[in-house]
Amino acid sequence: MSQRKGNDVFSGQGDDGKIGSGWQGDSHDILKDTFGLTIPTELAPLPSKGIVYPEGHPLHLKEAIEIRAMTAREEDILTNRAYIKQKSVINELIRSCLIDKRINPEDMIAGDRNAVMTSLRITGYGPEYDVEIDCPSCGERSKQEFDLAGLPIKNFEHDPIAVGANSFEFKLPLTKHTIRFKYLNGHEEKEISVMEERLKKKGIDRRNLVTQKYQSQVISVNEITDKVKVQKFCQNMPARDSLALRKFMDANEPGIEMKSHMQCPHCYEESEVRLPIGASFFWPDA
């Protein structure tokens, strides 16, 4: 079910094809009547198409969600020291701009959050993204301009085991065991981040990145769900199986493909590069 297309979020059209008329918040009348200002709303895509969210969840089977454009209020969020320290800036930014307040950004899997984040950046500062990047061919650094609105959207290539279930199956090529895994949401990523910070403060260097990812994502092995047993298997699975599983997870993960092409002004080679997300993403003049 893989689909890749340009980011058409800013066509201004909703599910019914109607153009968004603007945000209808508490201050809407004051802004419109006094200053003639209407804060526009747009549709942000959900690359997962909502199939991993359970029935009854506000994101269930949603292909897009409505957001209002960024304002100076969101710039306050981006500079809030408490949010920065808690690493919750992006979640709070998304929360502030969501029209449907039932939606918790931390419920979203990473690919959906990244897509909404990119959409918000476009509403705030436009699709042009100027950033310095190293040329893969010669290594020289240069300033490049990328079009965020043209980045392709990647959907799931394989369906979950059931609609509304964040659970996917993969049969390992060597041992033939069946793995079930999930894609992490914001709550789970936050738990991992907090745990890593605690270990770092204790002077414990976490180098088992591969098995740590499996520990967070693998739900079961041959329907065995005991966490200790699953972790033991993940730590000792053959490298061939491990590589195949990682490739499957990465290839199937939905999101905005943060890749584009650059032409180096030094060696004149054209290369595909991954767009770095730095300060200039939300602060273009930084």
Mean pLDDT rounded to a whole number for the chain: 86
Co-location of 98 and 128 in the same domain: yes
Q: What is the mean pLDDT of residues 89-117?
A: 95
208 burial via Cβ count (<10 Å: 0-12, 13-18, 19+): exposed
Task: Assess if residue 160 is contained within a domain.
Answer: no
pLDDT(10) > 50: no
pLDDT at residue number 247: 95
pLDDT at residue number 26: 56
Co-location of 113 and 227 in the same domain: no
Co-location of 248 and 269 in the same domain: no
pLDDT at residue number 23: 55
- Angstrom distances, CA of residue 61 to CA of 128, 221, 250: 30, 28, 22
Co-location of 92 and 31 in the same domain: yes
H/E element holding 130?
A: strand 128-134
183 and 253 Cβ atoms separated by less than 8 Å: yes
Task: Assess if residue 78 is contained within a domain.
Answer: yes
pLDDT at residue number 12: 40
Task: Assess if residue 185 is contained within a domain.
Answer: yes
Q: Which domain holds residue 96?
A: 4-154+265-282
Task: Assess if residue 259 is contained within a domain.
Answer: no
pLDDT in tens, 22-47: 555 555 667 777 777 778 889 999 99
pLDDT(20) > 70: no
Co-location of 116 and 246 in the same domain: no
Residue with more model confidence, 18 or 91: 91
**How far apart are alpha carbons 254 and 201 in whole angstroms?**
33
Q: What is the mean pLDDT of residues 106-123?
A: 95
pTM flag (> 0.95)? no
pLDDT in tens, 56-81: 999 999 999 999 999 999 999 999 99
106: closest CA among 94, 120, 123? 94
Co-location of 242 and 194 in the same domain: yes
| Total domains present in the chain | 2
Q: Which DSSP category does 159 fall into?
A: -
Task: Assess if residue 118 is contained within a domain.
Answer: yes
Co-location of 193 and 79 in the same domain: no
Co-location of 53 and 144 in the same domain: yes
Least confident of 9-23, 35-49, 188-202: 9-23
65: closest CA among 6, 110, 20? 20
Q: Which DSSP category does 113 fall into?
A: H
**How far apart are alpha carbons 165 and 197 in whole angstroms?**
30
Tell me the torsion sign for CA atoms 157, 159, 163, 165: negative
Co-location of 103 and 213 in the same domain: no
Task: Assess if residue 26 is contained within a domain.
Answer: yes
Residue with more model confidence, 17 or 125: 125
pLDDT(4) > 90: no
pLDDT in tens, 220-278: 999 999 999 999 999 999 999 999 999 999 999 999 999 999 999 999 999 999 998 87
**How far apart are alpha carbons 283 and 248 in whole angstroms?**
35
pLDDT at residue number 242: 93
Co-location of 271 and 221 in the same domain: no
Co-location of 192 and 245 in the same domain: yes
Alpha helices, H only, the chain: 28-35, 72-78, 81-86, 89-97, 110-125, 186-201, 209-217, 227-236, 239-252, 279-282
Co-location of 36 and 109 in the same domain: yes
**How far apart are alpha carbons 201 and 273 in whole angstroms?**
34
Residue type, 124: G
Task: Assess if residue 21 is contained within a domain.
Answer: yes
pLDDT(5) > 70: no
